[in-house]
Every structure is written in C-alpha cells, then in structure tokens.
Chains A and B, each alone.
Chain A
Amino acid sequence: MKAIIDVKRFNPENDSEEYFQKYEIEVEESSTILDALIKIREDMDGTLALRCSCRASICGSCGMKVNGSAKLVCKTRLVDISPVGGKVQVEPLGNMPVIKDLVVDMNPFWNKVKQIKPYMKPDSEPKAEYIASNESMTHLVDVMNCIMCGACVSDCTALEVDKNFIGPAALAKAYRFVADPRDDESVERLGFLNKNSGVWDCTRCYACVEVCPKGVAPMDRIMKMRDLAINEGFKNTSGYRHTESFVKSVGKFGRLDEANLALTSVGFFNIFGLIDLAIVGIRAFVRGKLPPIIPHKAKRNENIKRIVKKLENK
C-alpha cells in the first residue's frame, strides 16, 4: 500500500521557520503511522527526529498531531485516518515548544504536574497497611490509566490562550489524589485548584476527552472537582455563581434567564464588570438583541419545577 505523509519539520540550527515535507512510502495495510515514520527515518531521511519507545501505547512517548488532532501514533493505523492515497499530516504536539521536527519540550507539561503535588499526603505516618475499599478506588482506575503522553495538553483550547492554566493532564492527576481516600489534603488541594488558572478556567470543549488515548476523560474530572470545591465551601468564584444561577433559572422558568445569569455571574458588587456588561447590553439593545427582561418560559413548567426541586434537594 502506498502512503503519502506530510511531516512538519523544523530544525532550530538551520531553519528560520517550520515547513512541511512530503514522503511517499510503501507500507503494509496494517501499518501504524509510527511504523511509517520509522520507515521514513530508516530508509529515506535519517535527519527526521521523532520520539518513540514501546510501540504499544504504554509508554506515552509518541504523542503527535495527526491531521490536526493529537494521537499516539503507535496506536493509530494509517488506513483508519485516511483512505489509500489520502492526506496524512503529522505535526508535533501543540501547546509545547518544539525541540526538533516531531520532538517537543515536555518541561512545561511536567512543571504543571509538579504544581499539583502529585503524591499522597496523609496527615500522619500510617501505622499499618491502609486498606482502601473497592468502591472507593474502582472509579479511579480510568484516571490512573494516564500515561502522561501530553495529547490532552496539546489540544487544550484554554491552554492555547493562557499558558498559566494548569491544564487537563495535571488537573486529572489532581483529581486522582483529591478523590483518593488515603489522601488527607483534598480540601487544601481543592482550595488551590479553585483559584485562577485552576478548575474554573476549563472551557468544557471536550477536546481532552476526545483525544485521550487511555480514556482518562480529564474534563469530566475537572467538572467533578468544581462540584467538590463548591461542596467544601469554596463559593467566591464567578464560576460558582454562574452554575448556581443557571440551575436556579431552570428551576424557576424551565428555561435559561440569560440576563440574570450574566448579572449574577459577574457579581453585583463588581462595579467594573457591571459597567462592562452594561456597555455590551446597550449595544445589544440597540440591535434588538438583548435577552428578554422577562425570560422565555417553558409552557406549563410545573413538572420541570418539580423535577429540579426533587433532584436538587438530594
């Protein structure tokens, strides 16, 4: 089977900017993209730099962008990406500096993991073996599957605009300790994650869930930690007010009261925020776009009210 692979190349010693290089190679029907890249390096172009080790999606070394989204190339077959002769574009992972060709500098990634203190912090030294129940641990199996390949960090849309955001991999790792019954500092951890650049900066875009090769679902863990943080009493955030107001609005009208949601999330004491909102509001009003002052209600919404009341009071 013939394949055309378009590889993004960059060598800081010689190149002023990145460029794409096309390779036409003969591969097996069952070949993975990694097989093809290794063949290119071995038979055609020894200067191509790439990282790989286990070739069995265990080590997490070969994270790369394939046709725009992050993948473990050892786990991705060419035929699944593109029909015979179709386009396969391979780029280094995003949101990380490129060292050479397909090799990225993972230091920013590890620094973020270090930020969340990725080790157990019990209050006192255990006197005997700590036996955790099955129920308290089984839900953590998926998140423990993380192999730190950086795929989620590469495609995170929040990290793209804010390098300080802790990011999906480190936050998923944080959840692994927050939810572990043997750890005694979950409240302190949640307090740290509740601050700026923490759990509330996630945009809920599902990019990390989609690209994770191990089913870690970082975004779902982040949402879980938002809820846990609220339950621990960390309530002075726009994020908390936003969620709370949303649920209230649905419980009251069955629909979303956009105007009120905006006001409560910004906060009634945040003068600058309110002025900003007012400017946008006036512009929207002039264009006939302001959300209705009296929100659009669901017809005969008593059933919705009942459901919200019942399930929220649990």
Chain B
Amino acid sequence: MITKKYAFYPGCVARGGAPELYDSSLLVLDKLGIETIELEKAACTGAGVLQEKNQKLGDVLNIRTLALAEKMNLPVMTICSTCQGVMSQANHRVLNNPEYLEEINSELKEEGLEYKGTIEVKHLLWILIEDIGLDELKKTFKKELKGFHFAPFYGCYIVRPSDALGFSENPERQHSLDMVIDSTGASVTDFSGKTKCCGFPILLINQKNSLKMVSNHTGEAKDKGADAMVTPCPLCHLNLDGYQGKVRKDNRGDKGDLPIIHLPQLIGLAMGIEPYRLGFKRHIVSTDDFISSIAPGARQSDPQNFNIAMLIGMVGFASLLFALITAIGAFFVLRAIYIYEWGDNSFTHYIDTCSFEGIYFIGKYFCSFLSFLGF
C-alpha cells in the first residue's frame, strides 16, 4: 500500500452544505492509505466571487493557504472543482510574475509566512490518476460496477482556463473523470453538458437561467441512459441535486430522479464501503433505488433516523422554551394583578410608573376569558 501525505483543503461547502462529501472523502482516503493534515487555518478561496471584487485579496488569501502547506512541505489536496480552479489560477498568476509574488508575500510577512512557489494544488480526482495510479486504485476495489452507467459532470473550474490547470503537462486531466469512472468497471455516459456550467454561480442572481441549466444537463444525461451523475464539485452537486425535482417537472415534464453523487461516493461504492456511511441519505434526489440496485439489501437508514431524532429533540426543546417563557409571563401578570388589587399604595405607585397597568388590563381580560371558558 502506498503512503502519501497531503495538506488537505476540504473547502467551505464540504464543511457546510454538503457534509457527506467530507465524510465520504475521509473514508476513501483512509482506504487508499493516504495521510492528510487538514489546513484548518486556511481561508475560503473566494470561489471567483471575491475575485470579482478584489482579485488581489483573493490571491493573498490563496497564496497564504499555499504558504501554510509549504511550511508543512506537503502538496495541497482539494475535493472541490471550484477550490481547485481558483487556487490553481492564483498559483499560476504568482508563479508567472515574481514581482506580484513579492507584493503578495509582503502582505503575509506579518504572520511570518512566505511563499516560495513550490506547492502543487491537486484535486483528489487528479491524485487518483497521477499519484496513486488507476492500477493501484483498482486493487482497492471490491465491487464490480459493470452494467451501471455514470454521466461525468466536471464543474467549470477543473477544466477551464486550461493554461492554469497544467493540461499541457498532464493532458489526461482533460478527461480524468471519464477515466476514473471507467476504472470502476462502469460505463461512461457521454453527454454534451459534461463540461458546461451547472448554474450554481447565478442561482441567487438569475434563478430561472440557473435552473434551466440544471434541467438541461440532468435531463440530457438521463435521456442518454445514465443511472447517476458523478461530480468532483460540491457546488455542482448542490444545484443539480437540490433543484432537480422541481425544475425537471416544470421545464421538461419528466421526473427529476437522477442521483447526483460525489466522486468519493463513487469510489467508496466501488471499494465496497457500506452505502449509509457514504451519506447517500443526505441527498435531496432519492438515491434509494440506485443504492439498492448497486448493493441490494444494504443498510441505508442510519442518518435519516438521526435526523428525525434531531427534529423531535428540537421540537421538544422549543416547546420547553415556550412553556418557560409563558410561565414567566404568567407570573408577572398575576403578580401585577395581585399588587394592583391588594397591594399597598407605595407598591401601587411603583407599578403605575412602570406602566404595569397595561399588563394589568391584559391580565384581567385574560382572567375573565379563562373564567368565560369555565376555568
């Protein structure tokens, strides 16, 4: 077994909206014998959004991340196409412009960091092919996925702009996802949308256009016979998975039922890891049929029960809180009535100045309402 070590950069979405990506990645990395140290001090890459406003700020934050990894003398591993692309671009910019690198390093000096330009940023997808090798990868597979059809969906930033992504030195990166799917024994469903935009970046800006992209891509892949779509980008996953059900019905009149699975989930399935540990239950588009066809009789329900328990817990907590507030309120209302009716004058005066009268009247009406109800 190969032991490789990386500085691990999971990215915001793997730690936020798509936690199943983070969990499944750790499981797969463990089986591959890859050691990782998470870059916990690293900032968000900016995802291209921050760069719109202030490219230098984005570059400083990303070069800081690379400098942190350089300090550990480890290459950076990402599990998100967007993080990969944005960090590759920042790295590409400073490596081609030593003056700019110096300018960026001057911002990092205060923290005692300096980037010398030795770090390579690699997506797990590329690591599987370049550092581990598909033959070694295949040795870890326990389950043949023959007969299944997976549609690859790359995510823009892992395929463009190609000059920042090292395609000339590593041409296989252009079809890396196809190669990995192929290595599991499954068939690749080729479709025109595989390197197009998923719509996520404009989801909150122009939802109509964004969701049309979701229905076009998932619909096309489904028409071409895909059982599921595989993506190395959690942002693509969020849009394609989260909105598919709604838009496929509106735009194409069919059912939005194409599971959108993360790359490590596919590898995990091929490795024979139990599906429930890979977090399929967290998907919005149901993966039940897909999972039971791949691993008949596999346990699936673990995380779901946990969520129902959480829901019950939260409802319980909320009702306790409500009861407590009501009790405190009732105490003050009754206390005000008592003081106003039977308390001594000085106290009454105090209550008056505190404008407890209002509460008194509300309380009185409340009491008469209760008596009206027969209490």
Question: Chain A contacts of B17 at CB under 8 A?
Answer: 258, 284, 289-291
B49 and A201 form a contact (CB under 8 A): no
B209: chain A residues within 8 A (beta carbon) = 158, 161-162, 165, 201, 203
Q: How far is the CB of A144 from chain B (nearest CB, A)?
A: 21
For B307, the chain A residues whose CB sits under 8 A away are 286-288
* Interface check B139, CB cutoff 8 A: no
Query: A residues within 8 A CB of B284?
Result: 283-284, 287, 289
Whether the pair A250, B46 counts as a contact (CB closer than 8 A) is yes
> With an 8 A cutoff between CB atoms, is A247 at the interface?
yes
**Known contacts A157-B197, A250-B44; A200/B19 CB under 8 A:** no
The complex places the Cα of A207 from the Cα of B56 at a distance, in Å, of 23
Known interface pairs A205-B196, A223-B51, A298-B43. Does A239 touch B160 (Cβ–Cβ under 8 Å)?
no
Known: A210-B162, A247-B50. A258 touches B43 (CB 8 A): no
Partner of A205, one of B20, B160, B208, B303: B160
The answer, yes or no, to whether B48 is at the interface (CB within 8 Å) is yes
In the complex, A283→B16 CA distance in Å?
15
Q: Which residues of B lie under 8 Å from residue A122 when comparing CB positions?
A: none
In the complex, per-residue mask of B34-68: 1 if CB is within 8 Å of any chain A CB, else 0: 00000011111011111111101100110010000
How many Å lie between the Cα of A242 and that of B52 in the bound state? 11
Give the interface size class of chain B.
35 or more
Task: Indicate whether A204 reaches chain B with its CB closer than 8 angstroms.
Answer: yes
Which of B199-207, B270-278, B333-341 lies at the binding interface? B199-207
With beta carbons under 8 angstroms apart, the residue of B19, B50, B201, B306 that contacts A203 is B201
B111 within 8 A of A: yes
The distance in angstroms between the C-alpha atoms of A290 and B42, with both chains bound, is 23
Q: Which chain A residues numbered 169 to 222 have a C-beta less than 8 Å away from chain B?
A: 196, 200-207, 209-210
- Cβ of A275 to closest chain B Cβ, rounded Å: 13
A254 on interface, CB distance cutoff 8 Å: yes
Residue of A with least CB distance to B57 = A311
CB contacts (< 8 Å) of B56 on chain A: these are 311
Bound Cα distance A202, B157 (Å): 15
Which residue in chain B gives the minimum CB-CB distance to A277? B204
Interface residues of A toward B: which range? 35 or more
Contacts of B1-45 to chain A: CB distance below 8 A = 12-13, 15-20, 40-44
CB-nearest residue of chain A to B286: A287
Please pick, from A261, A288, A312, the residue contacting B303 in the complex, using a CB distance under 8 A: A288
- Chain A's closest residue to B20 (CB) is A289
For residue A263, give the distance in angstroms from its CB to the closest CB of chain B: 10
> Chain A 256-269, CB within 8 Å of chain B: the 1/0 string?
10100110011000
State the Cβ distance, A50 to closest chain B Cβ, in Å: 22
A227 partner residues in chain B, CB cutoff 8 A: 52-53
Q: When chains A and B are docked, how far (Å) is the Cα of A306 from the Cα of B17?
A: 27
Q: Are A289 and B18 in contact (CB under 8 A)?
A: yes
In the docked arrangement, what's the CA distance between A190 and B44, Å? 30
B75 close to chain A: CB less than 8 A: no
CB contact between B16 and one of A162, A288, A296 (< 8 Å): that residue: A296
Nearest opposing residue in chain B for A230, CB measure: B53
B216 at the interface (CB under 8 A from A): yes
Contacts of B283 in A (CB 8 A): 287, 289
A-side contacts of B213, CB under 8 Å: 157, 160-161, 203
Query: Across the interface, do A288 and B54 meet the contact criterion of CB distance under 8 Å?
Result: no
The reply to whether the CB of A127 lies closer than 8 angstroms to some CB of chain B is: no
B192 contacts the other chain (CB 8 A): yes
CB distance from A55 to the nearest CB of B (A): 25
A205–B12 CA distance with the chains assembled, in angstroms: 20
Residue contact B156 to A312, C-beta cutoff 8 Å: no
Binding site for B on A (CB under 8 A): 68, 157-158, 160-162, 165, 196, 200-207, 209-210, 223, 226-227, 230, 237-239, 242-244, 246-247, 249-250, 254-256, 258, 261-262, 265-266, 276, 280, 283-284, 286-292, 295-296, 298-301, 303-304, 306-308, 310-312
Interface on B for A, CB 8 Å cutoff? 12-13, 15-20, 40-44, 46-54, 56-57, 60-61, 64, 107, 110-111, 156-157, 160-162, 192, 196-197, 199, 201-202, 204-210, 212-213, 216, 242-243, 281-284, 303, 306-307, 310-311
Given A205-B197, A246-B47, A289-B18, 9 more pairs with CB closer than 8 A: A204-B156, A206-B156, A227-B52, A230-B53, A250-B61, A255-B16, A286-B307, A308-B61, A311-B54
